[in-house]
Amino acid sequence: MMRPYSGKLDIRHGLVNMSHGSGGRAMAQLIEQIFMKHFDNELLRQHNDQAAFNVDAGRMVISTDAHVIAPLFFPGGDIGSLSVHGTINDVCMSGATPLYLSAAFIMEEGFPLSELERIVISMAKASRDAGVAVITGDTKVVEKGHGDGIFITTTGVGVIPNGINISGERACPGDVIIISGSIGDHGMAVLSSRENLSFETTLQSDSAALHKLVKKMTEVSPNIHCLRDPTRGGLATTLNELALQSSVGMLLDEQAIPIKPAVVGACELLGLDPLYVANEGKLICICDAADADALLAAMQTDALGRHAAIIGKVVMDEHHMVQMKTSFGGSRVVDWLAGEQLPRIC
């Protein structure tokens, strides 16, 4: 194919500049030699501004997520893999099979091409491992000082199989609440790589695509009521959202919630509550009590659900509160966050 540019990008030393976003030869070269090279698939190779594909009849799902994380690279992942996993997860929390992704990049002038390539390679791997291709995208560059290095927005589409109706307002009193694994890993792994909170830990982000786990679960129990991944704001925030949507209350058992000792230690050091720390590879499942044991067993056969546990139940509550029996024997309310959770000294 004839190319409008010649030569190779100097990825090792080169920097993103304004011409990479202006639609001309430089942008074509960037797209070809970084994005197309690593995402490489048949639909992308058509070089259109959009990608056309057939879907089986069914309800379609679309979801979008913008990723602005800092630092860009953290133990267990980076902004690239996160942007793939995050959107796949949002799509499959409806029970849908994710089909394709789009990716829009906003880069700051001066952003090293070597880091861009590292991120794109990571995204491509995450996408291939998940079996969900990136088939279209966009590239923009903003002036230095107007962006945080790079922002990535991914949009995903999927199709929900017949008979599945998973939605946040379906939780009912008597339902069981299941978490797929330990909480707080992602948030604390990211914090550990922020400069002025530095602490050493082997904690890794749990960033992962959950669609294969979800598929196993819906095969065992098509009648799952709710699925959601507790990302920003943690388990507490997501449960409060669901309680509000479904007009119910929840009662949790603190002792049942899986959490790694290193997450406990890091939270204690900084005065953070692990219930509010972000997760990127976990899901909450709310189901009929009769289905709980079978679902739990199915989840535990999957690598991403090995430590799945029943952590509470849904109750009637006109105040829509999430409450928790503490491991100490008392009880407390697990409230919404006012804003971002901040470390405390007092």
CB under 8 A: which stretch of 89-97, 144-152, 227-235, 325-333 binds another protein?
325-333
Cβ closest to another protein, residue 66 vs residue 270: 270
Shortest distance, CB of residue 197 to another protein, whole angstroms? 5
DSSP 311-323: EEEEE--TT--EE
Shortest distance, CB of residue 10 to another protein, whole angstroms? 30
| 247 near another protein, rule: CB under 8 A | no
- Greatest Cα pair distance in the chain: 72
| 265 near another protein, rule: CB under 8 A | yes
| 270 near another protein, rule: CB under 8 A | yes
Exposed/middle/buried for 79, CB within 10 Å: 0-12, 13-18, 19+? buried
What are the b/e assignments for 263-278, b being 16+ CB within 10 Å? beebbeebebebbbbb
| 162 near another protein, rule: CB under 8 A | no
| 271 near another protein, rule: CB under 8 A | yes
Residue with tokens 């942008």: 27
User: Taking the chain, what is the end-to-end CA distance rounded to the nearest angstrom?
Assistant: 64
Out of 197, 289, 294, 297, point to the residue binding another protein (CB under 8 A): 197
Shortest distance, CB of residue 221 to another protein, whole angstroms? 26
CA dist., res. 166 & res. 179, Å (int) = 16
Half-sphere exposure of 51 (CA within 13 A, CB side): 24
Out of 7, 145, 163, 261, point to the residue binding another protein (CB under 8 A): 261
CB under 8 A: which stretch of 66-74, 122-130, 148-156, 312-320 binds another protein?
312-320
Going by C-alpha positions, the residue among 234, 228, 250 that lies closest to residue 183 is 234
Cβ closest to another protein, residue 157 vs residue 259: 259
- Residues near another protein (CB under 8 A) are 192, 196-203, 249, 251, 255, 261-262, 264-266, 268-271, 315-317, 319, 321, 323, 325-333, 335, 338-339, 342-346
